[in-house]
Amino acid sequence: MPFAPCSAACAIFRTADGPIVHDAIIIGAGAAGLMCALVAGKRGFRCALVDHASQAGRKLRLAGGGRGNVTNRRVGPEWYVGEQPRFAEGALRRCPPSLVLDMLDAFGIPWEERDHGRIFCAAPADRLADALLEGALAHGADFLPGRTIGEAECGDGLFHVQTSLGLLRAPRLVIAAGGPACPAVGASDGGMRLARRFGHRIVPPRPALAPFILPENGSEDRPESWPLHGLAGVSLPARVSVAEADARFRPETDALLFTHTGLSGPAALQASCFWRAGNSLVIDFLPETPLMTLLADPANGKATLAGLIKRALPSRLATRLLEQAGLAEETLRRNVAEVNKKDRAVLANLVHRYRVIPLRTGGMARAEASAGGVDTRDIHPKRLESRLVPNLYLAGEVLDVTGLLGGYNLHWAWASGKAAAEAFRAC
């Protein structure tokens, strides 16, 4: 593996009342915490890896449908959102996708590449979580599961962290406790609250990589309902953008899924990273072939307008869009060659620029990640060390760095955990 040990191991600290056993305390045994413990251990630093759960890497074990979308061939800062979009650049540069693949190979875990450069384990993600933990333990880490965090403070060159099973002390502290998305697996904003105790600003967390809830029943403040309700199960390649979004967001064609409550699938989940309440979604239901091109093709001239639309799109969706277009029945039965420019434009606008304002996302319970977190203006981008408290490091989802769908969030966990561990200084 390319994680070379460092000769600068830390000496055991001692205080008046006895030895400090650990060189660092890592709060959170998820992907970032495990990587941090492994890399730090290879450098000679003995870590206490603390988690409230009984098992390390709970969220990692469920990622990618249990196969772990562990990285992406196209990793770069442009695939991340936050108040400082390029904050992650340095850590990402020092952790290329090849390093993650080398890690999988070293662990004997097969992997496969899928569409859009997404790389998954070709074996249960449990194996990766177990291998990371075993590697960390082999290099001196102590895994301390089932411990909730209480008070934490810094004094006399040491961090004092009270847990439900006793006090921990060390000259370094790493907060890698994740974010509040997926509370069903124990996720919370505890790491952000801990960072706030040390004086850090917090960008309010919000759901990311979450499905959209669309208006169904009219209300006094939102009288409209979404005309495309009732299409649950319909799936197609589409592009979903946010009308008011950061110009950096240029959606790719990906799967869009209609649900009982709105929209999901990769195309919708990506858009949720940029969406804010009140923003409009703009949907292109036929992103690879302009409808006007199909309508102008002489080969389609004798097809009826309705028939052509139903061939180009899933039949149930096509029927709804034709209804919403409000075209006369006679127009729908006409041969394509006979349809006038105005009616063609009406349909093309619906197919390529369909607008809707969601009520909300599915919330943290249904989000795969959270956006927001510890304000990165307070963090050194290379070392991931606090600018406010020396020897306090932060890694993973607890920071205001959120990757788009496709392995980017797990890659940030690897990159940030590695960067923090490599920044540990000898005592």
Residue 8 lies in a domain: no
Residue 215 has pLDDT above 90, yes or no: no
Residue 6 lies in a domain: no
Residue 326 has pLDDT above 70, yes or no: yes
Same domain, 286 and 141: no
pLDDT tens track for 1-59: 333 333 333 434 444 454 567 999 999 999 999 999 999 999 999 999 999 999 999 99
**What tokens were used for 21?**
């056993």
Same domain, 33 and 146: yes
DSSP state letters, 346-397:
HHHHHHHSEEE--SEE--TTT-SEEEEEE-GGGB-TTT-BBSSSTTEEE-GG
Average pLDDT over residues 81-93: 94
Q: Give residue 217's pLDDT.
A: 55
**What tokens were used for 78?**
């442009």
* pLDDT range class, residue 302, cuts 50, 70, 90: confident
Same domain, 398 and 338: no
Average pLDDT over the chain, rounded to an integer: 91
- Which CATH number is 170's domain given? 3.50.50.60
Q: Give residue 20's pLDDT.
A: 60
Residue 273 has pLDDT above 80, yes or no: yes
Same domain, 272 and 235: yes
**Domain's final residue, options 343, 361, 379:** 361
Global pTM reads: 0.91
Q: Give residue 226's pLDDT.
A: 87
The set of residues, in sequence order, having a beta carbon less than 8 Å from that of 330 and lying 6+ positions away, is none
Same domain, 280 and 373: no
Q: What separation in angstroms does the CA of 253 have from each of 65, 238, 256?
A: 21, 5, 9
- Which CATH number is 294's domain given? 2.40.30.10
Domain extent, residue 232, equals 212-361
pLDDT tens track for 237-261: 999 999 977 677 789 999 999 999 9
Strands 24-27 and 173-175: parallel
Q: Give residue 281's pLDDT.
A: 95
How far apart, in whole angstroms, are the C-alpha atoms of residue 373 and residue 113? 30
Residue 113 has pLDDT above 60, yes or no: yes
Lowest-pLDDT range of 5-9, 206-210, 364-368: 5-9
The set of residues, in sequence order, having a beta carbon less than 8 Å from that of 344 and lying 6+ positions away, is 291, 292, 295
Neighbours of 55 (CB within 10 A): 17
